């Protein structure tokens, strides 16, 4: 049966160095996940409070299941244009660009398929081949029409921004904090970590990467980065001895089976890291490496189902395997 393990990544605040001031730490559940905001500075309390309100607002706008959300209304528009808020339109435009650049490995119209596997309701099932073929006819991000803030979805096409929403939320939180003069904060939104600035003592943030079997596999030192993991172990169900994960390969309509246990993307922006982590998990290691060589504005951590680990060369000096994974060989992927 379905099981969720969170948080995937845990921001480890190194003990021992007294912070200039105490952080404000706020835990909440939103967007179907457990979140922790840790903010430093004189206006930390205010920032955390406004941050929570922002997350609630994003959840209310972007949810696929809440009947008042913009996405729900678009999905039930019967082919008529619907107005979007400026913020949702910006997110959708960026998500569509990622769908195109990943050649549909990310596809924001995958929702009918995700639902038929039961990932939205928890009523898990393995759909018949014929049903999947029928549903896949409705999956095609190129049919989404976004003109300014006006969205038109052809009848039957439904959006799900679940693969990018938390990354977007991380970016929006960072902007909000910056506008309040905050220079040091770290937010964990389920498998997404957004590290703003450095720790208050000027040292990099240490972010832990979860091991697929539980516990932690690695630690990463970063400043001003989003660190986002997509893993087959995050949300899945088992039937007849087979495991089905919540990330769907849009080419097949079936859970991705690429040999990866997880892929972590380290990028400047949360929305890019989030969209890519989902897409590169679908692509598998070989295609993901090719995509990295072609684009190169982000770095990757691969944990294989075979227990192997690899990182792209930009992380060579800030990444260490950890715990049970400490003695395993680490492959460095070069350009």
Give the binding site for ligand ADP (CB under 6 A): 106-108, 110, 114, 119, 160, 162-163, 190-191, 230, 234-235, 246-248, 250, 274, 277-278, 282
C-alpha–C-alpha distance, residues 306 and 304, integer Å: 5
* Partner whose footprint covers residue 162, from ligand ADP, Mg ion, none (CB < 5 to 8 Å by kind): ligand ADP
What SS3 state is found at 258? coil
* Partner whose footprint covers residue 250, from Mg ion, ligand ADP, none (CB < 5 to 8 Å by kind): ligand ADP
What SS3 state is found at 251? coil
Continuous segment of H or E residues that includes residue 48? helix 44-62
The packing angle between helices 270-283 and 86-101, to 10°, is 30
Query: Least distance (Å) from ligand ADP to the CB of residue 174?
Result: 18
* Partner whose footprint covers residue 144, from ligand ADP, Mg ion, none (CB < 5 to 8 Å by kind): none
Query: Least distance (Å) from Mg ion to the CB of residue 9?
Result: 13
C-alpha–C-alpha distance, residues 237 and 127, integer Å: 13
* Residue of the chain from 107, 158, 274, 299 that contacts Mg ion (CB under 5 A): 274
* Partner whose footprint covers residue 119, from Mg ion, ligand ADP, none (CB < 5 to 8 Å by kind): ligand ADP
> Is 24 a binder of Mg ion (CB under 5 A)?
no
Query: Least distance (Å) from ligand ADP to the CB of residue 87?
Result: 19
Structure tokens at 65: 């299941």
* Partner whose footprint covers residue 206, from ligand ADP, Mg ion, none (CB < 5 to 8 Å by kind): none
∠10-15-17 over CA atoms, to 5°?
A: 130
> Is 278 a binder of Mg ion (CB under 5 A)?
yes
C-alpha–C-alpha distance, residues 212 and 203, integer Å: 28
Residue 96 or 163 with smaller CB distance to Mg ion:
163
270 φ, ψ (degrees, to nearest 5)? -65, -40
C-alpha–C-alpha distance, residues 277 and 292, integer Å: 12
Question: Which residue's entry shows tokens 């052809």?
Answer: 154
> Is 163 a binder of Mg ion (CB under 5 A)?
yes
Q: Where do contacts with Mg ion occur on this chain (CB under 5 A)?
A: 163, 274, 277-278
């Amino acid at each position: 049966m379905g099981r969720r393990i969170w948080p995937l990544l845990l921001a480890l605040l190194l003990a021992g160095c007294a912070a200039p001031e105490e952080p404000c730490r706020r835990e909440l559940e939103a967007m179907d996940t457990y979140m922790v905001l840790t903010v430093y500075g004189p206006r930390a309390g205010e920032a955390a409070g406004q941050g929570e309100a922002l997350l609630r607002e994003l959840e209310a706008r972007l949810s696929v299941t809440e009947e008042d959300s913009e996405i729900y209304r678009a999905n039930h528009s019967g082919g008529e244009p619907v107005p979007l808020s400026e913020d949702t339109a910006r997110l959708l435009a960026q998500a569509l660009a990622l769908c195109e650049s990943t050649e549909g490995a990310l596809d924001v119209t995958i929702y009918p398929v995700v639902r038929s596997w039961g990932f939205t309701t928890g009523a898990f099932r393995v759909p018949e081949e014929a049903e999947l073929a029928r549903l896949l006819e409705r999956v095609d991000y190129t049919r989404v029409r976004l003109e300014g803030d006006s969205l038109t979805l052809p009848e039957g096409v439904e959006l799900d921004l679940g693969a990018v929403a938390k990354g977007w939320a991380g970016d929006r939180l960072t902007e909000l904090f910056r506008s309040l003069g905050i220079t040091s904060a770290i937010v964990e939104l389920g498998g997404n970590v957004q590290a703003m600035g450095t720790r208050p003592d000027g040292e990099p943030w240490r972010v832990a990467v979860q091991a697929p079997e539980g516990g932690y596999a690695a630690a990463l030192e970063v400043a001003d980065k989003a660190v986002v993991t997509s893993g087959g172990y995050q949300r899945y169900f088992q039937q007849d001895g087979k495991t089905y994960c919540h990330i769907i390969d849009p080419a097949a309509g079936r859970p991705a089976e690429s040999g990866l246990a997880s892929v972590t993307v380290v990028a400047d922006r949360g929305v890019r890291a989030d969209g890519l982590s989902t897409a590169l998990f679908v692509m598998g290691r070989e295609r993901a490496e090719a995509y990295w060589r072609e684009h190169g504005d982000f770095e990757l951590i691969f944990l294989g189902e075979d227990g192997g680990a690899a990182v792209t060369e930009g992380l060579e000096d800030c990444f260490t395997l950890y715990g049970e994974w400490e003695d395993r060989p680490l492959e460095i992927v070069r350009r």
